[in-house]
Amino acid sequence: MAARFCRIAVGRAGTAQNHLRYAQCILVGTGAALSAVPESWRSKCRSLTYAGVEHDVYLPPDSRPDNAAVRLLFVGRLIPYKGVELLLRALAIAARQHSFHLDIVGAADPAYKGFLWRLSEELGLATVPEPASRITHHASRITHRASIAFLPPRPRAQLIHLYQRADIFCFPTICDTYGIALLEAMSCGCAALVSDIAGAGEIVNGNNGLKVALRSPEQYIAEYAQKLIELARNRWRFTTTWRPRTARKLAVTRPNW
């Protein structure tokens, strides 16, 4: 009950934008976040470079297995603007040339999750239950196809294992102003493949991951598929092996407090 009242109060505050009206200073982490603030209040905004990740916790694994199927990961709410439908359609194309396994982690409205499940089947993508998603895929079992596991939300501490076993983190959003999960995955050494838009387009600069322009659904799906294939053929291209003492090797800028 307390949580319900809290959500109602926060929702009303967001609608009225009182948190912006009465704030003396508004901190924004990206240009996309700044553009979302009404122009009349932008004079109160201050840019703050904030990685938002505990770099001594979100560490790369000592090694990643060279599986026949490249492991992809998506973490986030399953809502239309997160671009999961676009990702599934791109994956179906990329799977014609390489083997993939995609873990999709996040909460979803049952109707929308059902739509994504049916779409996966229509595209010829094999859906597997959660325990099967933990299986190491060998060339003898999967050849030029893709499998998908829809996993429930995980506490942040449990996400570390998922990041560490993934080769590529997929962030096909079409309007996010930031991307904490993206930064966590990059900190764990995942290659990043993101939309060249909003916060993700600022975080990934082409040297620390690949970006796909968003001009039309057809163009985006085709280019995302091509970049999946490119990374599958050279999955170590954007991974990192940094440790806290060499953290400056990361392209993500962290503030000097």
pLDDT at site 49 = 62
- List Cβ neighbours of 203 (8 Å cut-off, separation of 6 or more): 30, 178, 179, 182, 183, 186, 194, 252
pLDDT at site 75 = 94
pLDDT at site 18 = 63
pLDDT at site 242 = 35
SS3 content of the chain, % helix, strand, coil (to 5): 40, 15, 40
pLDDT at site 52 = 66
pLDDT at site 123 = 93
Indicate the pTM of the whole model.
0.74
Q: Token match 């939300």: residue?
A: 153
What domains are defined for the chain? 2-47 (no CATH), 70-233 (3.40.50.2000)
The Cα 107–Cα 231 span in angstroms is: 27
pLDDT at site 222 = 96
149 with 69: CB under 8 angstroms?
no
pLDDT at site 130 = 61
The Cα 119–Cα 102 span in angstroms is: 14
pLDDT at site 141 = 42
The Cα 257–Cα 165 span in angstroms is: 32
pLDDT at site 55 = 72
Per-residue model confidence as pLDDT tens for the chain (257 residues) = 444 544 444 455 445 566 677 777 877 766 667 667 787 777 777 776 656 677 777 778 887 777 778 999 999 989 888 999 999 999 999 999 999 999 999 998 899 999 999 999 999 998 877 654 454 443 334 444 889 999 998 888 888 999 998 999 999 988 776 778 888 888 888 889 999 887 777 788 777 889 999 999 999 999 999 999 999 887 665 555 433 333 333 334 333 32
